[in-house]
Amino acid sequence: MQKITTFLWYDDQAEEAVALYTSLFQDSRVINVQHYGEAGPGTPGSVMIVEFELGGQRFLALNGGPEFTFNEAVSLSVDCDSQEEVDRLWTALTANGGEEGPCGWLKDPYGLSWQIVPDRLNQLIADPDQNRSQAAVKAMLGMKKLVIAELEAAADAA
């Protein structure tokens, strides 16, 4: 069991959000669903907490009400092996009310921020040739969804 678990607060969409997330990542599953009882504060029988795993990492999602919302101060960063993975996750997480942000960031339909990052970007940024590295960074700063071919072309042109 992991010692530290990310706890996510939703208004009343925890179960719906978890269904989306677990459909997108291998080694993901719902572990347990707890319901509110007569003691409240939620409606008795409604979903209170969903315990789940994404890529083998444990999370908790709470239907806690509208008092708190997500902001960009916390995000989930996903390292992607390919442009196809970037495209698939970007499309799924921005659909149905999600929002594209700059530099590979997005908000899903529930307001949770994600960074969808191709592994190739990290390799380009770590390039010992600072001209190549900085050209890749500059290209990234001009993008929403990160496109590996464009990042590589910028680095190669440096």
Residue 13 confidence class, pLDDT cut points 50, 70, 90: very high
Condensed to tens digits (0 to 9), the pLDDT of residues 61-107 reads 999 999 999 999 999 999 999 999 999 999 999 999 999 999 999 99
- Per-residue pLDDT, averaged over 36-63, amounts to 96
pLDDT band at 17 (very low <50, low <70, confident <90, very high): very high
Q: What is the pLDDT of residue 25?
A: 97
Q: What's the rounded Cα separation, in Å, for the pair 121 and 107?
A: 20
Q: Where do we find the tokens 């003691």? A: 39
Domains along the sequence of the chain with CATH: 6-63 (3.30.720.100), 75-157 (3.10.180.10)
Residues 6+ apart with CB under 8 A from 113: 70, 71, 72, 74, 75, 76, 101, 105, 106, 107
Q: Return the pLDDT at 47.
A: 97
pLDDT band at 40 (very low <50, low <70, confident <90, very high): confident
Residues 128 and 33: their CA atoms lie apart, in Å, by: 48
In the chain, which residue ranges form alpha helices assigned H by DSSP? 14-24, 83-94, 119-125, 130-141, 148-157
Would you tell me how many other CB atoms lie within 10 Å of the CB of residue 116?
Answer: 22
Tens of pLDDT, residue by residue over 104-156, are: 999 999 999 999 999 999 999 999 999 999 999 999 999 999 999 999 999 99
Q: What SS3 class is residue 44?
A: coil
- Distance (Å, whole) CA 27 – CA 29: 7
The values of phi and psi at residue 52, to 5°, are -150, 165
> What pLDDT score was predicted for residue 92?
98
pLDDT at 32 over 90: yes
Q: Looking at the predicted structure, is the pLDDT value of residue 1 above 80? A: no
How many Cβ atoms are within 10 Å of 17's Cβ, its own excluded? 20
Give the global pTM: 0.94
